A and B are shown apart, each in its own frame.
Chain A
């Protein structure tokens, strides 16, 4: 595809625990450009971990190995922590699941947003403030002045997530990793948040890595879908072709979703088959 933004090859994540080493991500490889890519899988399939590994924010215990992680020509494997800091937020940023926990409860919303901005742009308090307010408006917050002054616990979940989006988009990153950004919200709000996310991303022409367990959602929101199972990518297909996915697991996932257009008497359950697990290709360069 044209101008690849992020390229991952043979990403492995292991947890070395006292009992035995748990191999969470097994040789995942993919590439994304300035498009909306969804990663779908059951919880524990290693999708979130993949997202964090890219930003080198995986927990300390995790040992990360990969053949290659390239972002816009930068070799993240080699990048120093210092370099990573310049990239995080600025070039790649991340939206987490639940604003209740992902926002600092003791910092005013305004400060959290301006902090994110001033970290990467030379700007005085006043400018940053102006920018932040403008950003809040752009995520459909009616009374930005007030929200700016409020504490996270004082705003609703949906608004919180919009604040999160504002905070993460304000430095104008090229790639956004959204880790289940809507799973904590109720259906109506979900749509709204997604819409905002959608047109902000498209307007800026940024890339989006959309991590979710909700196949339907991903199906009609993203351009491309990666289906993960047990730390591996089983299938990588354009969203519109999802209906014709041929991997049994993907099929199963689809079937067990209630559909309106077609009548099902019993909801299928996912049946697993060890054979799905492909041999893991040996990892290349070790990082972190």
Chain B
């Protein structure tokens, strides 16, 4: 497409290409769009910060085996509840396990929970919402009524109830949290698709005789996607907190898993003697939650500036 720009360095060529006022192809347009958004993100320090932290977390999770200094299950009853030291950077817990190493591996669990929940929640919420919004009428009434019912519960209570019913464990916690957090997404998707449904291009597609399923999946869903993504990112913080809350009540990950909430609640017994056991995972949770919030906030500003 940009053969004219022969002599210039690739870099300059790229920047010229990426800035090109008129995109040459859909792909080009998409790249430009993405690039533009990236620029906007870069221009938003808090969001950028959040993004970096998340990236850091992901890296930690991947590199856990390299970063960890001890076997996270290895107990040493003679060296328990030790304060931070050169040997144990963040001290040891009630069974003499290295808190730092456990914290590092804990990121894996946290990200696992967050990711899995997102993967479950987004599609459910999207489909329910778009279906309700697109079909309207009874479908709408029924689905939205269900959503209202779920929304009338504080999500933690609902998660508690479900976990109690399903039995403890990470997977169950994830399911419970998902069950508690799809409704807002559905509501959002519905609102979006209500608007889209009226738009002319949908009418056009319908005239071409596309099936509702096709229209929803092929046209409505993609339109809702951005705002849903933003919303899910914002939700991730509260997911982390709910998960931690469940762990705190002993209903989340089961021992000896180094899930942060579980670590925190076991550390609770030693607040006075070994505060760091509770303090450290607490900080980690805080940091993770904050990162996702900052990033989600930034994303929202970027994706749909209207409610900046």
Contact partners of B19 in chain A: CB under 8 A = 19-20
Query: Is the C-beta of A18 less than 8 angstroms from some C-beta in chain B?
Result: yes
Residues of chain A in range 207-266 having any CB-CB distance to chain B below 8 Å? none
Residues of chain B in range 1-42 having any CB-CB distance to chain A below 8 Å? 19, 36, 39-40
The smallest C-beta distance from A141 to any residue of chain B, in angstroms, reads 36
The smallest C-beta distance from B28 to any residue of chain A, in angstroms, reads 15
The smallest C-beta distance from A63 to any residue of chain B, in angstroms, reads 16
Contact partners of B36 in chain A: CB under 8 A = 18-19
Residues of chain A in range 1-44 having any CB-CB distance to chain B below 8 Å? 18-20
In this complex, the interface size class of chain A, counting residues with CB under 8 Å from chain B, is under 10
Docked complex Cα distance between A174 and B240 (Å): 61
Contact partners of B43 in chain A: CB under 8 A = 18
Docked complex Cα distance between A110 and B212 (Å): 52
Name the prevailing secondary structure of the B interface residues: helix
The smallest C-beta distance from A2 to any residue of chain B, in angstroms, reads 46
For A18, the closest partner residue in chain B by CB is: B39
Docked complex Cα distance between A18 and B302 (Å): 11
Task: Give the tally of cross-chain contacts (CB within 8 A).
Answer: 8
The smallest C-beta distance from B15 to any residue of chain A, in angstroms, reads 11
The smallest C-beta distance from A123 to any residue of chain B, in angstroms, reads 40
Name the prevailing secondary structure of the A interface residues: loop
Docked complex Cα distance between A19 and B36 (Å): 6
The smallest C-beta distance from B164 to any residue of chain A, in angstroms, reads 48
Contact partners of A19 in chain B: CB under 8 A = 19, 36, 39
The smallest C-beta distance from B37 to any residue of chain A, in angstroms, reads 9
Contact partners of A18 in chain B: CB under 8 A = 36, 39-40, 43
Docked complex Cα distance between A254 and B133 (Å): 47
The smallest C-beta distance from A191 to any residue of chain B, in angstroms, reads 34
Residues of chain B in range 36-53 having any CB-CB distance to chain A below 8 Å? 36, 39-40, 43
Docked complex Cα distance between A18 and B19 (Å): 11
Docked complex Cα distance between A20 and B40 (Å): 12
The smallest C-beta distance from B46 to any residue of chain A, in angstroms, reads 16
The smallest C-beta distance from B29 to any residue of chain A, in angstroms, reads 13
Docked complex Cα distance between A20 and B39 (Å): 11
The smallest C-beta distance from A145 to any residue of chain B, in angstroms, reads 40
The smallest C-beta distance from A74 to any residue of chain B, in angstroms, reads 35
For B38, the closest partner residue in chain A by CB is: A18
Docked complex Cα distance between A19 and B43 (Å): 11
For B36, the closest partner residue in chain A by CB is: A19
For A20, the closest partner residue in chain B by CB is: B19
For B42, the closest partner residue in chain A by CB is: A18
Contact partners of A20 in chain B: CB under 8 A = 19
Contact partners of B40 in chain A: CB under 8 A = 18
The smallest C-beta distance from B126 to any residue of chain A, in angstroms, reads 29
Scoring A residues 169 to 201 as 1 if CB is less than 8 Å from chain B, else 0, what string do you get? 000000000000000000000000000000000
The smallest C-beta distance from B215 to any residue of chain A, in angstroms, reads 33
For B44, the closest partner residue in chain A by CB is: A18
The smallest C-beta distance from A66 to any residue of chain B, in angstroms, reads 27
Contact partners of B39 in chain A: CB under 8 A = 18-19
Scoring A residues 151 to 169 as 1 if CB is less than 8 Å from chain B, else 0, what string do you get? 0000000000000000000
Docked complex Cα distance between A20 and B19 (Å): 9
Docked complex Cα distance between A18 and B35 (Å): 10
Scoring B residues 201 to 240 as 1 if CB is less than 8 Å from chain A, else 0, what string do you get? 0000000000000000000000000000000000000000
The smallest C-beta distance from A177 to any residue of chain B, in angstroms, reads 28
For B37, the closest partner residue in chain A by CB is: A18
The smallest C-beta distance from A89 to any residue of chain B, in angstroms, reads 29
Docked complex Cα distance between A20 and B18 (Å): 12
Docked complex Cα distance between A18 and B36 (Å): 7
The smallest C-beta distance from A44 to any residue of chain B, in angstroms, reads 15
Docked complex Cα distance between A19 and B19 (Å): 8
Docked complex Cα distance between A239 and B40 (Å): 45
Docked complex Cα distance between A19 and B20 (Å): 11
For B21, the closest partner residue in chain A by CB is: A20
Scoring A residues 129 to 150 as 1 if CB is less than 8 Å from chain B, else 0, what string do you get? 0000000000000000000000
Docked complex Cα distance between A104 and B47 (Å): 34
Docked complex Cα distance between A86 and B290 (Å): 45
Docked complex Cα distance between A207 and B40 (Å): 43
Docked complex Cα distance between A19 and B40 (Å): 8
Docked complex Cα distance between A30 and B184 (Å): 55
The smallest C-beta distance from A23 to any residue of chain B, in angstroms, reads 14
The smallest C-beta distance from A217 to any residue of chain B, in angstroms, reads 31
For B32, the closest partner residue in chain A by CB is: A19
The 6 closest A-B pairs by CB, nearest first: A18-B39, A18-B40, A18-B43, A19-B36, A18-B36, A19-B39
Show 8 residue pairs from A and B whose CB-CB distance is below 8 angstroms, ordered by the A residue: A18-B36, A18-B39, A18-B40, A18-B43, A19-B19, A19-B36, A19-B39, A20-B19
5 further A-B contacts with Cβ under 8 Å, apart from A18-B43, A19-B39, A20-B19, are A18-B36, A18-B39, A18-B40, A19-B19, A19-B36
Give the B-binding residues of A (Cβ under 8 A): 18-20
Give the A-binding residues of B (Cβ under 8 A): 19, 36, 39-40, 43
